[in-house]
Amino acid sequence: MLGAYVPLIVMILIGVIFGVSNIVLAEWLGPRRSTRAKLSTYESGMEPVKSARERFTVKFYLVAMMFILFDIEIIFMYPWAVQFRELGMYGFTAMILFMVLLFAGYLYVVKKGALKWD
């Protein structure tokens, strides 16, 4: 029964060997000529201004949470839309109910001013 998993194990092994050997070889063979630009946080990106460890306002988290909720709504809606005819009235009612629940929550969030940005 476990025979079917042999290729998987072989692939995992190859993956591990490939990854580890590349790191080790690079460390071993690679020349090291460090410059100021190379050692900075983003080698070819923005100039670091200050430490990244500071407090964020809670508004970011609220928006992020709302985003995830509606993201998930969309994830549910795609397969439902594809199977719309097969699911028929039952699927339609279930989806409407789901959206009503989500909309009620959204209404609450907006009315409580959780998305106000000032």
Partner 1 sequence: MNFDILGSLPLIVIWLALGVVGIIIQAFVRSDSTRLVYGYYIGTLVTTGLLAAATISNQGTAFGGMVTLGGWAAVFDLLFCGAGVMAMLAAQAYLGRFNSELDEFYTMLVSSVAGMMLMAHARNLVVLFVGIELMSISFYIMAGFFRSRDKSLESAMKYFLLGAFATGFLVYGMALLYGATGTLDYSVMLKVIAAGTARFPVLLALGAVLLTIGLSFKIAAFPFHQWAPDVYEGAPTVVTAFMSTAGKAAAFSAFLAVFGVIMPMVKVASMTPTLQLVLAVISAATMLIGNITAVAQTNVKRMLAYSSVAHAGYMLMGIVAGTTFGQSAVVYYAFAYTFMQLGAFIIVGLLEREDETSLMISDYSGLYRKHGVFAAMMAVFMFSLAGIPPFAGFFGKYMLFYAAIESGFTWLTIVAVASSVISVWFYLGLIVKMYFSEPNPETHEANAGLAGISLAVCTVAVILLGIMPRIITGMLGN
- Return residues touching partner 1 (CB under 8 A): 90, 100-101, 104-105, 107-108, 110-112
> Toward partner 1, which CB reaches closer, 50 or 111?
111
C-beta of 76: minimal distance to partner 1 in Å?
A: 15
Over the range 27-44, which residues count as b (16 or more CB within 10 Å of their CB) and which as e?
eeeeeeeeeeeeeeeeee
Q: For residue 118, give the amino acid letter.
A: D
> Toward partner 1, which CB reaches closer, 67 or 108?
108
> Toward partner 1, which CB reaches closer, 78 or 90?
90
- Upper half-sphere CA count for residue 44 (Cβ side, 13 Å): 0
